[in-house]
């Protein structure tokens, strides 16, 4: 289609009846239809566009699901590393820990990888697990 418009402009005409190009005995339409390579390329492009349009919504629906923290296991406070660091799902229970700072929780920790509305999110210290936003451990570090 672009070629047709382009050719029509080169020939000094717009939409309308086919006319002969000054450099060939073919009309614009004959010239376009007689170019099998371009026709095949156009068909290939259209196939890719149709497949892409069909696949894009499916991919868009799947990708966030793959990365969802909801699907990850919660860190067990009895996990040996979690236990060693005094991890708890409720920071208020950590007040007896000598390194606990008032008001600190996973939500405000630099290692917490969630946003403010996430109840659980990944933590850099515990791969493949999520920790409670209200939790705490002795490695708590003020969010930068």
Compute the distance between CA of residue 135 and CA of residue 20 in angstroms, rounded to an integer: 79
Q: What is the closest distance, in whole angstroms, from the C-beta atom of residue 119 to ligand SF4 in the complex?
A: 13
* Residue 53-92 contact track with ligand SF4, rule CB under 6 A, x = bound: ----------------------------------x-----
In whole angstroms, give the CA distance from residue 139 to residue 47. 54
Rule CB under 6 A: choose which of 106, 120, 129, 130 binds ligand SF4.
Answer: 106
State the Cα angle at 23 between 21 and 26, rounded to 5°: 50
CB of 86 to ligand SF4, least distance (A): 9
Q: Which is nearer to ligand SF4, 7 or 82 (CB)?
A: 82
Q: Which of 93, 111, 118, 134 binds ligand SF4 (CB under 6 A)?
A: 111
Instruction: Choose which of 112, 120, 129, 130 interacts with ligand SF4 (CB under 6 A).
Output: 112
Q: Which residues contact 25 (CB under 8 A, 6 or more apart)?
A: none
Report whether 138 contacts 86 (CB < 8 A).
yes
Locate tokens 């708890």: which residue? 88
């Amino acid at each position: 289609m672009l070629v047709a418009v382009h050719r029509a402009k080169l020939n000094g005409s717009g939409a309308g009846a086919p006319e002969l190009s000054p450099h060939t005995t073919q009309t614009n339409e004959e010239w376009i239809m007689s170019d099998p390579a371009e026709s095949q390329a156009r068909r290939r492009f259209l196939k890719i566009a149709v497949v892409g349009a069909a696949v894009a919504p499916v991919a868009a629906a799947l990708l966030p699901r793959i990365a969802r923290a909801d699907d990850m296991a919660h860190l067990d406070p009895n996990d040996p590393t979690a236990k060693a660091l005094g991890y708890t799902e409720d920071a208020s229970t950590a007040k007896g820990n000598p390194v606990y700072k008032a008001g600190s929780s996973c939500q405000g920790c630099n290692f917490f990888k969630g946003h403010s509305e996430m109840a659980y999110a990944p933590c850099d210290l515990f791969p493949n697990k999520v920790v409670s936003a209200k939790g705490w451990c002795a490695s708590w570090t003020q969010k930068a």
